[in-house]
Structure 1
Amino acid sequence: MKKISLLPGIILLGIGTFYSIQKLNIHLFENQNSWQALLILLGAAYLISGHFEKDNTTILPGIILAGLGIHFINQPKLPSWPDHAAAFLFILALGMLLTAIKTKSGYAQGIVLLLIGLFLHFFQTIIQSFSVVENGVQLIETYWSFLLIIIGAFLVFFKRKK
């Protein structure tokens, strides 16, 4: 007999509670009725379900959903909060690294995404520090994304394990 997953039940409990609190006008915290809070709730459902079922495949979607919810709540409130693509790479890298910690494999992908996120986050600072070599910097600023494409294509097509 196949074991039934906890995830659907936890999601239904969470969404039911979320909308019941709205209907009953119960105020627990700021932004509790926002779609961002719903994302956090869904992410927590994945993480809780995965924890109790010992299912490591729920870590990544749980971190992504909760991370996006936290990002969209904090981004307008905190001036130091990143508001560009690097924030999404940080969330994805965190999910991949936490999954790697649990599964004891796949650290490299998480670290690479984290490094790319850090590079994008500090891109303008890095470019400004190279102002001495302005022509080279403009070339790098224009074509750095193609370097990622070339490296990715090389890894996909030429470095595959048989």
Structure 2
Amino acid sequence: MKKNGMFSGIVLIGLGLYFFAGQFSLPFFKFFQGWPALFIIFGAALLAQAYSAREYQHLFSGTLLFGFGLQFILVQLWRGWPNEIGVFFLIVALAFLLSARKMKTGLMQSVLFFALSFVILFSERFAHVFHIIETSISFIWKFWPLAFILFGVYILWTKKK
């Protein structure tokens, strides 16, 4: 990190708030106690460092730490917040997407993780669609040996130069 000022400042402020929340039982700071808050502190520091010093290689790790910490806190605060593995895949997809915007790499991984998170999060709602896909694939799978036959016929009938 070329310019540590932003990273160090945010980490010190965050750790100060973290330890201050531990000293006093203020209702507002109750969510700021525990290890998920440390994820948020270091994730926010990495994100601020990435954007302020244009060190975009920190975007991925900063987004992961911030997102995972936020997920753990939101699960504790709201009972209706989804507590499924698909949310973590969604956070990884967002991390790849933010990184891909600046680093010009990782867009395909982002799309794949978005698709995976979509399938995991909404698989119960689309069970009938998955059933149709499953029966279609099982029907096609019975005929995979035809690919060998057709490829063999193609090899035999093509002229060699």
Same fold (TM over 0.5): yes
Tell me the residue number matched to 1:90: 90
Map residues 12-161 of structure 1 onto 2, 5 A cutoff. 12-25=12-25, 28-76=28-76, 77-79=78-80, 81-129=81-129, 136=135
Confirm or deny: 8 A CA contact 1:11 1:45 kept in the other structure.
yes
Confirm or deny: 8 A CA contact 2:57 2:103 kept in the other structure.
no
Tell me the residue number matched to 1:5: 4
Seq. identity, %: 27
| Post-superposition offset of 1:89 | 0.4
Residue 16 and residue 109 in structure 1: after superposition, are their counterparts in 2 closer, same or farther (change >3 A)? Answer: same
- Counterpart CA distance in 2 for 1:113 and 1:133 is 20
Please identify, of 116-125 and 84-93, the stretch whose mean Cα deviation from structure 2 is larger: 116-125
Structure 1 length as normaliser, TM-score?
Answer: 0.68
- Counterpart CA distance in 1 for 2:41 and 2:132 is 49
The code of the aligned residue for 2:108 comes to A
State how many pairs are aligned. Answer: 135
Residue 5 and residue 130 in structure 1: after superposition, are their counterparts in 2 closer, same or farther (change >3 A)? Answer: closer
The code of the aligned residue for 1:126 comes to F
Please identify, of 89-98 and 50-59, the stretch whose mean Cα deviation from structure 2 is larger: 50-59
The code of the aligned residue for 2:113 comes to L
**1:80-130: per-residue Cα shift (whole Å, max 9, x none)?**
x32221111000000110111122332111111101110111122222445
Listed as ranges, the gaps of 5+ residues in structure 2 are 139-161
- Counterpart CA distance in 2 for 1:29 and 1:16 is 12
Confirm or deny: 8 A CA contact 1:10 1:49 kept in the other structure.
no
Listed as ranges, the gaps of 5+ residues in structure 1 are 140-162
The code of the aligned residue for 2:101 comes to I
Confirm or deny: 8 A CA contact 2:60 2:99 kept in the other structure.
yes
**1:113-158: per-residue Cα shift (whole Å, max 9, x none)?**
1011101111222224455798x49x8xxxxxxxxxxxxxxxxxxx
